[in-house]
Structure 1
Amino acid sequence: MMRVVDKLLLFLYSLAIGVVSVFMICLGFGWITKSLLSNWLTQFYEFKSIAFAFGIAGIILLLISFRFFIVSLSRGAANAQSIDQRTEFGDIRISIETIENLALKAASRQRGVKELRARVRATDAGLEIVLRAVIDGENQIPVLTEEIQRAVKEHVEDITGIPVINVAVFVANVVSAGAFKSRVE
């Protein structure tokens, strides 16, 4: 949810900065004359509601700037995505990429799987793994996907010791084996 809010704030912020940039370009190249700017400022101060709206817009832009400043500082630690475990001997960090590779290895061992992609999300309860697969279409899809789910869950849990709470398999496409017929003349 916060990611959507941040994207909306970034859109609004970019729009406001774009408007200010166009205004500055017009001032810099003399496309807005001194008399026109003087008339705008005179009208601006005559209507208190417009001045108040500009003040509110300035406060909103300042708050958005603070939000982006905080996000830029806090997201730095999240870039090194890993799962941290504490044992009696010390700390263990397993990267998300390592878990994705383990899931891909287990899933690729299943007969009928042609292409794979994996995405792992760590939650408090355990790991959620999403696999995108292209299969050959010679096996029943429900049976194949269940085998993939079971294999991935067992392999990742055995290797990492982290519980896997969900393995979702998305069958993106079915490709034919491409049997070639020999031709005799």
Structure 2
Amino acid sequence: MRPFDRALLAVYTFFLTVIFVLFSAIMLGWTTPQFLLRGLFYPDRAGIFWALMAILILAGVRLFWIGVSKSDRVGRYVVLTESALGQIRVSIQAIENLVVKVVTQVNGVREVKPRIVSVSQGVGIQIRAVVTPDINVPDVSERIQVLVKEKVFEITGITVGSVRVSIDNISAQKPRVE
């Protein structure tokens, strides 16, 4: 969800919550909210009321559309080649799965969360990892960068412009054997 949509959701939710609280208070017999809301329903202020309703309806439609539409990450592809016969594409999810497979084979890496971004020289890969405490973090990070860049190019032919590695945690827990 984009920052604009998050802000819209926050404002929309806050406004609806206030309205529901006011209407609930009126239904429970508290008369003060009636005087607050009565000003909105005067005939000479109908323009303000209908403008507010139009904004709320548009915001609701926008938020509904975001809720039912597919995620931004689903169905995204990178075009590998294009010929007279058509395109050869690889999904972002396939590249992420490849990155997970490559990085988890590096000794000392526990968890991997890759993210593919578009850069001017192909794709950029952002990797968030959890490692064990018995490794040298700069060496392992550099090894991850080199391996990911080489393997993604070798397997898909996609030029990797950058590989950014972030170590989220150094985990001392031993993996469970099942």
TM-score (norm 1): 0.69
CA contact (8 A) 2:40 2:48 kept: no
1:20 partner letter = I
3-state SS of 2:106 partner: coil
1:102-117 → structure 2 map (5 Å cutoff): 102-117=98-113
Larger Rg: 1
Q: In structure 2, how many angstroms separate the alpha carbons of the residues matched to 1:134 and 1:24?
A: 49
Per-residue CA deviations over 1:88-112 (Å, capped at 9, x if unaligned) read: 2323342222111111122223233
Query: In structure 2, do the counterparts of structure 1 residues 126 and 137 end up closer, same or farther at CA, with 3 Å as the change threshold?
Result: same
RMSD: 3.6
Deviates further, 9-18 or 131-140: 131-140
Q: Which of 71, 76, 80 in structure 2 is aligned with 1:82?
A: 76
Q: How does 1:1-185 map to 2 (within 5 A)?
A: 3-26=2-25, 29=27, 31=29, 37=34, 41=38, 45=42, 54-68=49-63, 71=66, 75-76=69-70, 78=72, 80-85=74-79, 86-88=81-83, 89-123=85-119, 125-175=121-171
SS in 2 for 1:76: coil
Quote the Cα distance in structure 1 between the aligned partners of 2:157 and 2:148. 13
Mean CA deviation greater in 163-172 or 91-100: 91-100
Hey, what does 1:182 align to over in structure 2?
none
The question of whether the paired residues in 1 share the 8 Å contact of 2:40 and 2:46 is answered with: no
Q: Percent sequence identity over matched residues?
A: 31
Aligned length: 171
Q: Distance in 1 between matches of 2:36 and 2:18?
A: 19
Deviation at 1:156, TM superposition (A): 1.0
Structure 2 CA distance, aligned partners of 1:134 and 1:77?
26
The unaligned stretches of length 5 or more in structure 1 are 179-185
State the 1:161 CA deviation. Answer: 1.8
Supply the distance in 1 between the matched residues of 2:106 and 2:46 (Cα, whole angstroms).
67
Give the residue type in structure 1 aligned to 2:16.
I
4+ residue runs of structure 1 moved beyond 6 angstroms?
A: none
1:115-166 CA-to-partner distances (Å, cap 9, x unmatched) read 3222223456422212222223444322221111010011112212222112
TM-score by length of 2: 0.71
